[in-house]
Structure 1
Amino acid sequence: MMIDRYREFYELAGKYYPEDRLTYSSLSGIIRKKWVLNKLKKLPSGNLLDCGCNIGRLSSGWNKGMVIGVDIAYSLLKKGKNIFPNINFVQGDLREIEFFKKDSIDNAIAIEVIEHLDRVGDFLNGLYNILKPGGTVLITTPSYSGKRPEMLKLGVLKSFGIKQGIEREYYFHTAYKPEELRDIAIKSKFSVIEYGSFEFELRGWVKPFTILRNFFESISDRIFPYSLLNILIVEFLNRFEVDTFYILDTLGLGRLMEMLFKEGRRSYVLAKKVVCG
């Protein structure tokens, strides 16, 4: 069954793929973390539900109330509990999130999560029901240009022993433009506070790095798909990209990219549950 393969894949990925380490050592992850933490500072006091929390890094510093982290992969929650004991971790499928009590959550975040969900409507409808009236939610996803992606190849995941995706060697990974995020939030009865994009800093100048990554991935996928060399290449490119950015940013690269491009590489929506009556 699809649901069984879905859960099995993400449990396996959570157990063997060090997403937290690789993501937050990359330039995109560093910029994203800074952006999200700034947004979290502006959310009202109350509890915080971190949907698709991984090990809980982004919500670990929340000091305005209790933190609850939910993820489908038990192995990630086990790691997270050792690193961030202040978080109350719960294993669960976001597509069936109404195992939380109705009207019990003050704030929720879903950072780079819904692009992995094959039933986004089920998640957002359920999230709406468990939020308190006036409760807020912050959602971010990758954006895209051209044709909207639907599935990704396993790529470097193979080097960590993950040989089977949800459908053969593919797993579900899509993207949303800002207005698409806005529309699906409204469809689930949320009132949109703001929406837009970020990571303008990564537009334009990173194209050579993207081409280089794609080149190495295509070569490794054919010649040595399960080699640890792929991991070393990813980490080297991450470090090189970060160092290059910091040098260029001193010359005003970030501000220039925001002036040149109308949209960043990530979309977001900040919304709330409308207070009835």
Structure 2
Amino acid sequence: MNLAEFYNRLAECYPEEDFVYRTPSGRLRVNFIWRMLHRFPNGVLLDVGCNRGYLSSGYKMGRIVGVDIALPALQIAKSRYPDNLYIQGDMERLDFLRDSSVKNILCSESIEHIEDAEGVVRSFFRIIKPGGYLLITCPNYGRIKPQYLSDDIPESFGVASPEGYIHTAYRPSELAGMAVEAGFELLESGTFEKETRFWQAALSIIFERLWHNRSRYMRRAFFRMMIISLNVFYSLIHLLQIDYLMRAFLRRGPRSYLLARKPE
């Protein structure tokens, strides 16, 4: 199975919005991205690596164009958001898009899956109109940059990662460096999802060990149980206002972000 076939298969089998975006970290991510999108200027938004279109659905300042390598994901996105335009394409080969053809770009949870991240950010600069905004989010890391972040979720849905599959992470400083090198003006960079640091990963590992070597259907059931457990635990943290303390005192969160602007 090559990478294109993998992403098509994953899009068919893995309803990300029904699982990841129902976890505490997923809900925090969606809310964060939607808040950031409200800061964008009016104009066309290009959602690169759009999947089923959920994240960019929070954009209300203009038309949405989504690009993704997986055709099944685009078909679902079009059925859900028929007013948007969706194009099958590789984010490392965006030559089919003209210079200064969109006002803003969202690239969420995608740049960690490509080999030439710097080249992609340069292509973003070419495509964005002067004054337009760029928002990138991706996994963050601590001391050692991972070459591959393990992820049992696709396998739980019967999709094994192929050879050559990339899943790495970037610090905010690395995202900022790529953007400035490409010509962007840095507006903001940092981390988020601090409220879920440590405990969500620990609980997820426990559930992953419980579903290890079980059938695909049992693994899905365990995954649903994990989502319920994570949300109950987060509700308790929120009730006790521990999440506020984590946001205030933790230096970094598990997700990095960059907000940049193309100079006029």
In 2: Cα distance, 1:155 partner to 1:59 partner: 26
Which residue, 188, 193, 218 being the options, matches 2:187? Answer: 193
Q: Which moved more, 1:86-95 or 1:15-24?
A: 15-24
In 1: Cα distance, 2:76 partner to 2:23 partner: 21
Deviation at 1:187, TM superposition (A): 2.0
In 2: Cα distance, 1:157 partner to 1:11 partner: 12
Query: 3-state SS of the aligned residue for 1:206?
Result: helix
CA distances 1:226-276 after superposition (whole Å, capped 9, x unpaired): 52111111111111111211122021111110223111111101011123x
Deviation at 1:214, TM superposition (A): 4.4
Which residue, 217, 220, 223 being the options, matches 1:231? Answer: 220
Partner of 1:54: 51
Question: Could you tell me whether the CA contact under 8 Å between 2:114 and 2:166 is conserved in 1?
Answer: yes
Deviation at 1:63, TM superposition (A): 2.2
| Equivalence map 1:120-269=2 (5 Å) | 120-153=117-150, 155-167=152-164, 171-216=165-210, 220=212, 223-224=213-214, 226-269=215-258
Identify if the C-alpha distance between structure 1 residues 204 and 158 changes in structure 2 by more than 3 Å, giving closer, same or farther: closer
Structure with the higher fraction of residues in strand conformation = 1
Identify if the C-alpha distance between structure 1 residues 261 and 152 changes in structure 2 by more than 3 Å, giving closer, same or farther: closer
Paired AA for residue 102 in structure 1 = D
List 4+ stretches of structure 1 deviating above 3 A. 204-208
Query: 3-state SS of the aligned residue for 2:162?
Result: coil
Identify if the C-alpha distance between structure 1 residues 164 and 205 changes in structure 2 by more than 3 Å, giving closer, same or farther: closer
Which residue, 70, 73, 90 being the options, matches 1:73? Answer: 70
Deviation at 1:186, TM superposition (A): 1.5
In 2: Cα distance, 1:157 partner to 1:112 partner: 15
Q: Which moved more, 1:128-137 or 1:12-21?
A: 12-21
Q: Unaligned stretches of 5+ in structure 2? A: none
In 2: Cα distance, 1:204 partner to 1:122 partner: 33
| Equivalence map 1:8-157=2 (5 Å) | 8-153=5-150, 155-157=152-154
Paired AA for residue 263 in structure 2 = V
Q: Unaligned stretches of 5+ in structure 1? A: none
Paired AA for residue 171 in structure 2 = K
TM-score by length of 2: 0.93
Deviation at 1:154, TM superposition (A): 5.7
In 1: Cα distance, 2:106 partner to 2:181 partner: 18
Which residue, 246, 260, 264 being the options, matches 1:271? Answer: 260
TM-score by length of 1: 0.89
CA distances 1:43-76 after superposition (whole Å, capped 9, x unpaired): 1111111111111112124221111011110000
Paired AA for residue 208 in structure 1 = A
CA distances 1:167-211 after superposition (whole Å, capped 9, x unpaired): 4xxx31001111111111122222111111111111244353143
In 2: Cα distance, 1:253 partner to 1:41 partner: 27
Deviation at 1:146, TM superposition (A): 2.8
In 2: Cα distance, 1:69 partner to 1:101 partner: 15
Alignment RMSD: 1.8
How many residue pairs are counted as aligned between the two chains? Answer: 264
Question: Could you tell me whether the CA contact under 8 Å between 2:140 and 2:256 is conserved in 1?
Answer: yes
Query: 3-state SS of the aligned residue for 1:148?
Result: coil
